[in-house]
Every structure is written in C-alpha cells, then in structure tokens.
C-alpha cells in the first residue's frame, strides 16, 4: 500500500469561520478513506460484505452502515467511504476478498475532501449552482449522484432532509466554498 504525505486542511481558519449560518451552514468533514470500486454484480456483493456495508444496486442511491458508506456512481461503479483510520483495513479486506475476481479498487483518499451543508436552505443554496432538481420529492434522503456545482465536479449525497454531503476534489474546495458563501449571501 502506498504511503502519502500527511493531508493538509484545504481551507484556512478565516474561510472556515464563514461557514456558520442558521439557514445553510457549511463545514469541512473529517478526513476519510475514499475508494472508487468497479466490478461485476457478484464482485460488488463480495466487496460490500468485506466493507461491512452493502453496495447499492439501484441507480443514484447510497447505503450506510455504522461509519461506512457506499454510493452508486454508475453501472458497476461505487464510491466507498470509511473513517481515515480504517483506510488500510478496508483496502486489504476488499482486495483479499476479491483476489480471484476481476475488479478495480482505487484509493482516492488524498484527492477528495468532504463538505457538508446543513439547514432549511441547504437545497436552495445548492440550487444556485447545481443543475439537478433538489426538491425532496425528486432527490430524497439516500439519493446521490455525480454532478457539477458551478464549474466543479462533485458527488452529491442527501444524507437527511436538510443535510447534504459533497465530495469535492481537493484543489476545487476553495472555489466551491467561496461560491457557496457568495451564493448564500443572496438567499
């Protein structure tokens, strides 16, 4: 398993302080282990068992068990999330469970950062730069998709009625954060 330099915070304290808001609070989530998994239906079932969280088979859905999650990104493609300290455990468990099954497991933990938007105006804030319908009837809790926010690609996951998880490439976090702060000023 590859060794990486320590992860650094993508935003400074001044920017982070701007996140607080009663209608749409922004926060940077704790660092996490992230993997892109590709495989057949059979391989995904085995990977889900090794992860300890079933990989969803329905389009644009997420599943979660304890502190691990699996998000459907496309046919035979999932984003797997786990606490940072479990990175090697998850990678080894899935690799060993699928050692004879064709699959791809790519560690993207250093590439992405998790952001969260919480509050009664969270969906409205996201709608300022996201082209998909975020009305609760169209995008309910547990729904996820790869989309764009302004000019940045994100993975968007609705974790509760007024709570969204965004997975953003590390280099785009300042841009996405500043866009959301500016859009929120216009709510």
Domains belonging to the chain, first-starting first, are 12-31+111-187 (3.30.1360.120), 32-108 (3.30.70.1520)
pLDDT of residue 7: 62
Distances (CA, A) of 117 to 37, 43, 47, 144: 26, 33, 29, 14
The pLDDT assigned to 8 comes to 63
pLDDT band at 115 (very low <50, low <70, confident <90, very high): very high
Which pLDDT value is given to residue 117? 98
pLDDT tens figures, 9-63: 778 888 888 888 999 999 999 999 999 999 999 999 999 999 999 999 999 999 9
Mean pLDDT of the residues in the chain: 94
The tokens for 147 are 């989309």
Q: What is the pLDDT of residue 14?
A: 81
Q: Please state, in angstroms and rounded to a whole number, the distance separating the CA atoms of residues 101 and 21.
A: 48
Please list, residue by residue across 75-107, b when 16 or more beta carbons sit within 10 angstroms of its beta carbon and e when fewer do: eeebbbbbeeebbeebbebbeebbeeeebebeb
- The secondary element (H helix, E strand) that includes residue 158 is strand 152-160
């Amino acid at each position: 398993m590859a060794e990486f330099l320590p992860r650094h915070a993508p935003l400074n304290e001044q920017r982070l302080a701007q996140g607080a808001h009663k209608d749409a609070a922004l926060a940077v989530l704790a660092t996490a282990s992230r993997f892109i998994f590709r495989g057949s239906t059979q391989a995904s079932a085995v990977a889900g068992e090794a992860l300890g969280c079933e990989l969803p088979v329905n389009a644009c859905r997420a599943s979660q068990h304890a502190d691990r999650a699996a998000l459907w990104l496309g046919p035979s493609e999932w984003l797997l999330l786990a606490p940072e300290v479990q990175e090697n455990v998850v990678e080894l468990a899935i690799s060993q469970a699928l050692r004879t099954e064709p699959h791809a497991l790519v560690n993207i933990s250093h590439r992405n950062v998790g952001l969260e938007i919480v509050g009664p105006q969270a969906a409205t804030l996201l709608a300022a730069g996201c082209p998909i319908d975020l009305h609760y009837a169209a995008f309910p809790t547990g729904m996820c998709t790869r989309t764009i926010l302004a000019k940045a690609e994100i993975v968007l996951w609705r974790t509760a009625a007024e709570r969204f998880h965004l997975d953003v490439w590390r280099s785009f976090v300042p841009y996405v954060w500043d866009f959301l702060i500016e859009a929120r000023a216009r709510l």
